[in-house]
Amino acid sequence: MATTSVVSTSFSFRAPVPPRPAVELLAEIRERGGRVYRMRGPDRVFCLTDDETVAAWLLDLGARAFTAAGYTRTEGGYLRARGGKREWDCWIHTIPVEGSLWEACA
């Protein structure tokens, strides 16, 4: 005599949350003390910050950390000068947004 088991599964059909507008992201970065700049290449934008929480927030959103020569990603950021403040260079053009970060940064 074979037994049959029923497996209950549920699916979420919720639509994905649309990305925030580029202008809003840049405004929040600046409110938190980040400095935003455009790179020479089109559609490339980065943020410099000396606040570790801002850097972690940006990385969680999808930014990529630039690591200077001689440092590893686990050290986090780099020293601006010998014995100086630590700073993070986050490439934010990899964060999904609505619109263009490069144009919003102008």
Q: List pLDDT tens digits, range 64-106.
A: 988 766 665 555 678 778 888 888 999 999 999 999 999 999 8
Q: Which ranges in the chain belong to alpha helices (H)?
A: 22-31, 52-61, 101-104
CB-neighbour burial class of residue 45 (10 A; exposed 0-12, middle 13-18, buried 19+): buried
pLDDT of residue 99: 94
Residue 76 region by backbone torsions, left for phi larger than 0, else alpha for psi between -120 and 50, else beta = left
